[in-house]
Structure 1
Amino acid sequence: MPLKRLILFSLLSNATFLFSQKEFDKYGPLGCQVYTDLKEALKIEKKVYKVDLSYQKLDLKLYEKIANLSDLQALKLSGNEVTDYPKNFESLFNLLYFASYNNKLNTFPTLKGLYNLQFFELQHTLIDSIPAQIAYLSRLQSFKFGNTDDTLKLPTTFHFLKNLKDISIENCVLDSFPKELFKIPSLYYLNLSNTNTWYLTKHFERFPNLEVLVIENNPLAKIPFDIYKAQKLRLISLRGNNLTKLPDSISQLENLSLLDLRGNKFDADEMQKIKFLLPGCEIKF
């Protein structure tokens, strides 16, 4: 596989945590220390920019004081046995990155004070709805949410996030078609995997910057003719759906390098037709 396609294909891996680690590394002043001992960080307080508390049970008295780290730019939690956010969490105005894995959080934090947040990820929580107040995160570029095994309600305010480039919602049941996600023209990457997505809107003209579309393990049976209007698409993965054919218009996606169709119901004639429509694209059946 050519290097360019290999790089694109790697976006489909399940290495969610590794991706987040790469993102975590991006934040904070160059070469700044990553604190993994909360007690040590709280002794210093000022100029503590990055804290990674993964894989440790926290002293709740110390946990409640995280807001004292007023310069904090990146905070990662994982498997800490916490069910709520630290006291005055919303006062961390300098926070650019926040991720929590395997903590039984049941709500979102107060978002109004976190207006500088750029990367926000919540995995394996008890949350069943995303609040309308997410619109306060006007600088948000990447939002990842999933693994709740529950019905998820999306707000109508998503389209106000004008800087959002990357959305990934996985392993939860969306309560309705996520039409608000199809109103964000800045999107580069959209992943809706195992979300009971059974329908796609025809309004792909609203995705002038979309390059990666991942709709995996859903009951999707039809791809709209208008998909060709997302002209920058380079990678599409539709694995594990109920597709039997694709629209001929897919041939107009001139930048498409990789199309993953494994786990669908294409017959031999349809597979041959798709190959004919996309001679320069790597196709996986």
Structure 2
Amino acid sequence: MITFKEFKISDYITLKLVFGKTIIYVAGRRFWKCRFLLLQIPEGESELASLKSINSIDEAAEMLDASLEPLDGKVFMYSIPPETEFWGHCSNLQAWYENGYDTRLLHSNIAFPLLYELAEAGDPQALKVFKEEIAERYNTGIESVRKYLEHEYLKYLTTEEFLSNIDEEEFEALNKLRKLQPDVSRLGLQYKKGKITRLMLNGYKFKRVPSEIRRFTSLEHLEMTSNLLETLPEWIGELTSLKELQVYNNQLKSLPESFGALKSLQILKAFNNNLRQLPDSIGNLESLRMLNLHHNELISLPETVGNLVNLEELLLRGNKLSTLPNSIGRLDNLEVLVLDENELCKLPDSILDLENLRILGIDGNNVEKLPYSSGSYQNLRALNISNNPIYKMPDFVYGLPKLERLTIRGLGSIESRISLEKFKNKHIMILLSGQKMIEK
């Protein structure tokens, strides 16, 4: 192997230019072939001003245009001579070394592997800052860096090291929570900028939501599945940053009126509980996109459910619903509506206003006919009308342009007369009783 150039940064880091490629050596052993990060720097005054907020190379790589980089393994021909590129890498790593291995100065996918190798090689500075950098960048880094560290490097931290950057007040509350359940796993905990953002307390047999959680004011994701909860506290409405709440497989009988204060909530999974009704305030959840209430004991829905204008999925299988509110037609963004195994005799005509509906399921009800008007159900892709007293295929179903999957199990008179040729969509699958299927 012919070495054209060599630059020694420390006793542990050397760079060599070999056949036009820059190679990093750690303690004399080949470590990495460098990749040059090419960024298109904006020229506009307002765009340049935005660069002042960049705190790391990782942020720069996300905020700036990297279109000069090679894509999909293709060789990109640019005019930077290998030697110039080599000295650029030398300068970057020299600055990184002189700044105490500050990982903000290199892209994370080189900074952390290199820091790990240096620590393994016995570099005293790397040994000193390796864990500190992991904890600090996890706490303050952008989301891509945090996910990278979570998958690759948090395993090198003890629990106490991992928790070291949490704010004092939340750390105190967390310690009280850990005393209640000593095996609360750090795998179910995330934090950012000192604030706990994710907490998973699944399967601990909690009968109540621990009051310590009330102090996690930046909490975005809370899971308390497979516990023994019968109710949620009124103070749950104080968690206004909450985006996802999972409380399925409990014994919940009701939700508090304060629930409507969760303005940021996007996902609620409360299936397999004993809910008989929902508070009117549920209509205040203006950010809600998915509501999963499968297998509860709901006998009705409040009219305010029609205020959930961003709702995309409404999942209500296995309840005791006999009617639906007319306001359901105001759910302009609804794409999935599952009503299987209820006690419905009819669907409200307002369902025809759900122009974005892609999936509709009413399996196991008492519905005799589907409401219809010209131009309705145009985006429907899957329809399940199994096990209802429907004796004739509605004519409009044949003309649905996007219908790909039709389930008609338990409808013997229809199954025997079904005709594939009548369907407007040339690619459709029809599911029949006895796991039979026909398609074209």
- TM-score when normalising by structure 1: 0.78
State the Cα RMSD in Å.
3.0
**Deviations for 1:101-151, whole angstroms, at most 9, x for unmatched residues?**
222222213224311100112123232111111111111111111322x35
Conserved? CA contact 2:231–2:252, under 8 Å: yes
Question: Secondary structure of 2:281's match?
Answer: helix
2:158 equivalent to 1:158: no
Residue 326 of structure 2 is matched in structure 1 by: 179
User: Aligned partner of 1:146: which letter?
Assistant: H
Residue 277 of structure 1 is matched in structure 2 by: 423
Please point out which of 269, 273, 278 is paired with 1:125: 273
C-alpha separation in 2, matches of 1:177 and 1:87: 27
Residue 115 of structure 1 is matched in structure 2 by: 263
Conserved? CA contact 2:322–2:342, under 8 Å: no
Conserved? CA contact 1:224–1:247, under 8 Å: no
Question: Secondary structure of 1:159's match?
Answer: helix
Conserved? CA contact 1:66–1:86, under 8 Å: no
C-alpha separation in 1, matches of 2:377 and 2:203: 41
C-alpha separation in 1, matches of 2:358 and 2:384: 11
**Relative to structure 1, is the Cα distance of residues 227 and 282 closer, same or farther in structure 2, using a 3 angstrom cutoff?**
farther
Q: Structure 1 unaligned runs (5+)?
A: 1-27
C-alpha separation in 2, matches of 1:171 and 1:283: 23
Percent identity over paired residues: 22
Give matches, 1:1-285, under 5 Å. Answer: 29=143, 31=147, 39=178, 46-58=194-206, 63-86=210-233, 88-109=235-256, 110-148=258-296, 150-226=297-373, 229-267=376-414, 270-272=417-419, 275-278=421-424, 280=426, 281-285=428-432
Count of residues in correspondence between the two structures: 254
C-alpha separation in 1, matches of 2:211 and 2:412: 53
Conserved? CA contact 1:223–1:246, under 8 Å: no
C-alpha separation in 1, matches of 2:350 and 2:261: 34
C-alpha separation in 2, matches of 1:231 and 1:135: 27
C-alpha separation in 2, matches of 1:227 and 1:74: 42
**Deviations for 1:63-85, whole angstroms, at most 9, x for unmatched residues?**
12111112211111122122222
Residue 106 of structure 2 is matched in structure 1 by: none
Conserved? CA contact 1:204–1:228, under 8 Å: no
C-alpha separation in 1, matches of 2:325 and 2:228: 31
Conserved? CA contact 2:344–2:366, under 8 Å: yes
C-alpha separation in 1, matches of 2:293 and 2:391: 30
| Shift of residue 161, structure 1, vs aligned partner | 1.3
Conserved? CA contact 1:65–1:86, under 8 Å: no
C-alpha separation in 1, matches of 2:377 and 2:415: 27
Conserved? CA contact 1:67–1:87, under 8 Å: no
Conserved? CA contact 2:393–2:414, under 8 Å: no
C-alpha separation in 1, matches of 2:231 and 2:150: 26
> Which structure has more RCO (C-alpha within 8 Å, separation ≥ 6)?
1
* Structure of larger gyration radius: 2
User: Aligned partner of 1:250: which letter?
Assistant: V
Q: Which moved more, 1:67-76 or 1:196-205?
A: 196-205
Conserved? CA contact 1:202–1:227, under 8 Å: no
User: Aligned partner of 2:423: which letter?
Assistant: L
C-alpha separation in 2, matches of 1:197 and 1:50: 38
Question: Secondary structure of 1:170's match?
Answer: coil
User: Aligned partner of 2:203: which letter?
Assistant: Y
Residue 4 of structure 1 is matched in structure 2 by: none
Q: Which moved more, 1:45-54 or 1:68-77?
A: 45-54
C-alpha separation in 1, matches of 2:265 and 2:309: 13
**Relative to structure 1, is the Cα distance of residues 96 and 199 closer, same or farther in structure 2, using a 3 angstrom cutoff?**
same
- TM-score when normalising by structure 2: 0.52
Conserved? CA contact 2:328–2:351, under 8 Å: no
**Relative to structure 1, is the Cα distance of residues 275 and 173 closer, same or farther in structure 2, using a 3 angstrom cutoff?**
farther
